Amino acid sequence: MTIRSISYGGGVQSTALLVLAATGRIDFRTFLMANVGDDSENPGTLRYLEEYARPFAAEHDIELTILDRVMVRSGETRTLYGEITREGSKSLKIPVRMSNGAPGTRSCTADYKIIVIGRELKRRGATPQNRATIGIGISVDEIQRANSRRPEPHEDIVYPLLDLGLRRSDCARIIRDAGLPVPPKSSCWFCPFHRPEAWHDQRRDEPELFEKSCQLEELLNRRRDELGKDHVYLTRFGKPLRVAIPDGVDLLPMFDEGDGMCDSGWCMT
């Protein structure tokens, strides 16, 4: 039997897919969410998951399973934030910005999304001979993200929102029409792909979380100092987050750049 699953990210596009599945517009009854960690994911996404997404899925007999990253040998559950902040860690799994503003290399998507989902699909019987069909929530307005990742041997990737010609605004309407609030954008709260406006909103609306983001950036740079390496940043501006995102200053939308949110379930892949 062919496995058919949506890679659920907890944001607008993948929640729209949940509604479309519940109403029979797409043929998926399994949704798998790779959890980067309760200490790492946007707290608003975690609240939405528990208050709305899980009850809605259960009401419509849809499986919505949350998967942690569990180390094969030790059985230890790891989180992204925990891994990059643990004592002695030199990990830079997230795409921190270098001094020129360009993102550095990263492995967070592979380690905490692709591998986690892949292991679960294989556990359920997916093989190169019996590939799973994986739906990803990329909408028409971000079609450039489709086909940007080579499928694993055990999977075939499909894009139901593209097949239906739906944009992100359509996804929000579909969610509201189902009687659900539109979820916040899904991402790690410290993701360097945040838009400047998103960082500003975090500083204004969630000052404790913004402070934690600043402290993470400072921790990474203390380690860089010990190694004799250049500083890295969580924004593209080549300066500390506290300075790059001034308190009380509104940013115009035209100042925006594309963010790398995980709404689709695959986080910029």
Four-residue CA torsion sign, 28, 130, 116, 188: negative
* Domains of the chain by start residue, with CATH: 4-255 (3.40.50.620)
Whether the model clears a pTM of 0.75, i.e. scores above it, the answer is: yes
Top-confidence residue, 91 or 18: 18
Confidence category of residue 264, pLDDT binned at 50, 70, 90:
low
User: Which DSSP category does 154 fall into?
Assistant: T
pLDDT at residue 56 above 80? yes
**Which helix (H) or strand (E) covers residue 199, if one does?**
helix 196-205
Which of 8, 5, 50 has the alpha carbon at shortest distance from 28? 5
Look at residue 18 in the predicted model and tell me its pLDDT: 98
Average pLDDT over residues 72-76: 88
Distances in whole angstroms, Cα of residue 72 to Cα of each of 33, 69, 115, 217:
19, 9, 12, 30
pLDDT, tens digit, 9 for 90 and up, residues 77-124: 999 999 999 988 877 889 999 888 888 888 999 999 999 999 999 999
End-to-end CA distance of the chain: 27
C-beta separation of 135 from 6 below 8 A: yes
pLDDT at residue 193 above 60? yes
- pLDDT more than 70, % of the chain: 91
Confidence category of residue 6, pLDDT binned at 50, 70, 90:
very high
Q: How many CB atoms lie within 10 A of CB 14?
A: 28
pLDDT, tens digit, 9 for 90 and up, residues 204-243: 999 999 999 999 999 999 999 999 999 999 999 999 999 9
Taking the mean position of all CA atoms in its chain, how far away is CA 159? 17
pLDDT, tens digit, 9 for 90 and up, residues 168-180: 999 999 999 999 9
